[in-house]
């Protein structure tokens, strides 16, 4: 399947409102960084995102405002490494996977004790 780039998309269009798992991207024009963050967060999904910038510190500040489980600075939006958590926010992804996070997802830690003798308090 060939990749698709959809231009002149607005944030109310289906292509922008849904998660598309395929070689498709939507281009939405914004006037500034604050509007870009607002548009990125105006969705019920939040699996992953990317910020491309020459200023890495500014990229980190923008990433902190994004409502996604993962944000990659100057890289593709999806990376999966077995030692790093993978998962989204909102309606994207269920929990966190990989390494200790997958064990935590399927584990309930409990403490059950039995006192055999009277313990004075």
Against a cut of 0.75, is the pTM above it?
no
Cα separation, 37 vs 106, in Å, equals: 33
C-beta of residue 80 within 8 angstroms of C-beta of residue 98: yes
45-55 residue pLDDT tens: 777 888 999 99
Residue with tokens 């994207």, as numbered in its chain: 92
Query: Under a CB-based contact definition with an 8 Å cutoff, are residues 67 and 46 in contact?
Result: yes
Where in the chain are the domains?
31-105
**Which tens digit of pLDDT belongs to each residue from 72-114?**
899 776 666 665 666 667 777 666 665 565 666 666 666 767 7
**CATH class name, domain 31-105:** alpha beta
């Amino acid at each position: 399947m060939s990749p698709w780039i959809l231009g002149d998309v607005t944030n109310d269009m289906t292509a922008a409102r849904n998660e598309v798992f395929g070689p498709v991207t939507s281009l939405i024009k914004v006037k500034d960084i604050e509007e870009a963050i607002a548009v990125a967060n105006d969705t019920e999904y939040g699996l992953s995102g990317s910020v491309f910038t020459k200023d890495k510190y500014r990229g980190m500040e923008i990433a902190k405002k994004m409502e996604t489980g993962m944000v990659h600075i100057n890289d593709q939006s999806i990376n999966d490494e077995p030692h790093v958590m993978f998962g989204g926010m909102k309606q994207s992804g269920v929990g966190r996977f990989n390494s200790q996070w997958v064990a935590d997802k399927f584990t309930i830690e409990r403490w059950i004790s039995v006192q055999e003798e009277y313990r004075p308090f």
